[in-house]
Amino acid sequence: MKKAIEYSCPMLASILLLVFVGGVGCGRSEPDAMDLQEGPSSDASLSDLAGEPAPAITLDANTAVAKVNGEEILFSELQEQVEKLVMSLPQMPSAQMLEQQMPSIMQRVLDSMISEKLLKDAVAAEQISVPDSDVVKQLRQIASQMPEGRKLSELLEERGSSIEEFQSQLKEGMATRKLIEMKTEDKIEASSDEVESFYSDNAGKFSIPETASAHHILIGFRPEDSEEIKQSKLEEIKGIREQIVSGADFEQMAREHSSGPSAARGGDLGKFPRGQMLPAFDQAAFSQPIGEVGEPIETRFGYHIVRVDERAPGRTIPLEEARADIQTYLSDKKRQQALGEYLQELRADADVEILQDVSKIQAKFSR
């Protein structure tokens, strides 16, 4: 479904990565693999994007916020694009987060809308067209990527659109892509020397740490629990371990007794690198014999028994193994740079007027 979003809104699809990256959590309350990790949370902070509070202004829906080569962009059009963009998120952020970030979102969306109009004018000037047969083929491909039981027409209807409108947007997006490829194709291919230089300059990025895969069973306790309660929990997990050593199925015992969300997966924690888990758990995972159920260990979440399924030694990825990925990364980076330069050229040659400071609009998004 990401393809559908990209083509229906070709220049806006990446904006939320800049605004909401790392900002939408799952709201877990029970310990699991992430909770066993040592150190601060890796979620990105959104506060840096908010900036200093600006005096709020309100605009009528028909107020022009910008003008590109004489064509106005109305506030209502800006709001519509912002809403479509936010609605494309897999999980809706909180109303407070949206309100905090709305000025930044609006500014970035307006910049992209200006770029879209400049590209649309350039497509017309270059007389670029896309055969209807190519559009239909692409439409069918997008429809085939829908989740089982879902139709593209149903999704579009939920978002207030239609197949006809989407097909028109798709054709426009494909023409825009054709233009961009034409203007940047000679600037995007990373050379072999550039690939090798990147590998040499970023050696640490190609070092893979030692990893382990493990299952665990957790009998949790709270910090305020008495020593008597903790001792009873310890006896409980010792009893579970004895049953497993005597032949009981680890995964089934985890489903029946473990406290954490991983219980539903039979205690499976997947693969993790050395140093990611809490010290006691990490020590067990990287020292216990593979396949054996170790003695109980204690963390702040409670008592665990761990079964290590496999370990892989750390290694450095050789250049030839990494070459294709580096080539793709560097070429994509050069493509983005070339597109940015082309857009700057278009904007310098165009008549662009910013009529309203949309970063000062404290608009509320209707959920």
Are 18 and 135 part of one and the same domain? Answer: yes
Residue 325 host element (H or E): helix 319-349
Checking if the pLDDT of 235 tops 90, the result is yes
In a domain, 122, yes or no: yes
In a domain, 200, yes or no: no
Checking if the pLDDT of 304 tops 80, the result is yes
Checking if the pLDDT of 94 tops 80, the result is no
Checking if the pLDDT of 7 tops 80, the result is no
Are 299 and 341 part of one and the same domain? Answer: no
In a domain, 326, yes or no: no
Are 159 and 12 part of one and the same domain? Answer: yes
Give 297's pLDDT tier (boundaries 50, 70, 90). Answer: very high
74: which strand partners? 64
Which of 139-143, 184-188, 302-306 is the least confident region?
184-188
Give 99's pLDDT tier (boundaries 50, 70, 90). Answer: confident
Domain holding 261, by residue range, is 210-313
Average confidence (pLDDT) over 48-76: 75
In a domain, 79, yes or no: yes
Which of 252-266, 287-301, 314-328, 352-366 is the least confident region?
352-366
Please tell me the predicted confidence (pLDDT) of residue 358. Answer: 85
As a whole number of angstroms, the distance between CA 155 and CA 161 comes to 9
Checking if the pLDDT of 292 tops 50, the result is yes
Which of 147-161, 167-181, 242-256, 296-310 is the least confident region?
147-161
Average confidence (pLDDT) over 70-98: 83
SS3 178: helix
Which of 44-53, 72-81, 129-138, 347-356 is the least confident region?
44-53
Checking if the pLDDT of 280 tops 70, the result is yes
Average confidence (pLDDT) over 210-236: 95
Please tell me the predicted confidence (pLDDT) of residue 20. Answer: 36
Are 142 and 239 part of one and the same domain? Answer: no
Burial track 42-76 (b if 16+ CB lie within 10 A, e otherwise): eeeebeebeeeeeeeeebeeeeebbbbeeeebbbe
Residue with tokens 């008592």: 303
Give 294's pLDDT tier (boundaries 50, 70, 90). Answer: very high
In a domain, 140, yes or no: yes
Q: How many domains does the chain have?
A: 2
Q: Which has the higher per-residue pLDDT, 275 or 48? A: 275
Average confidence (pLDDT) over 161-169: 89
Please tell me the predicted confidence (pLDDT) of residue 364. Answer: 53
Average confidence (pLDDT) over 80-101: 78
Checking if the pLDDT of 30 tops 50, the result is no
In a domain, 110, yes or no: yes
Angle formed by the axes of helices 319-349 and 95-125, nearest 10° = 70
Are 182 and 308 part of one and the same domain? Answer: no
Give 1's pLDDT tier (boundaries 50, 70, 90). Answer: very low
Angle formed by the axes of helices 192-201 and 319-349, nearest 10° = 110
CATH code for position 256: 3.10.50.40
Percent of the chain exceeding pLDDT 90 equals 57
Checking if the pLDDT of 184 tops 90, the result is no
Under 8 Å between Cβ of 115 and 343: yes
Local structure of residue 363 (DSSP, 8 states)? -
Are 66 and 184 part of one and the same domain? Answer: yes
Please tell me the predicted confidence (pLDDT) of residue 153. Answer: 87
Mean residue pLDDT of the chain comes to: 83
Q: Which has the higher per-residue pLDDT, 364 or 10? A: 364
Indicate whether this model's pTM tops 0.85: no
Please tell me the predicted confidence (pLDDT) of residue 365. Answer: 52
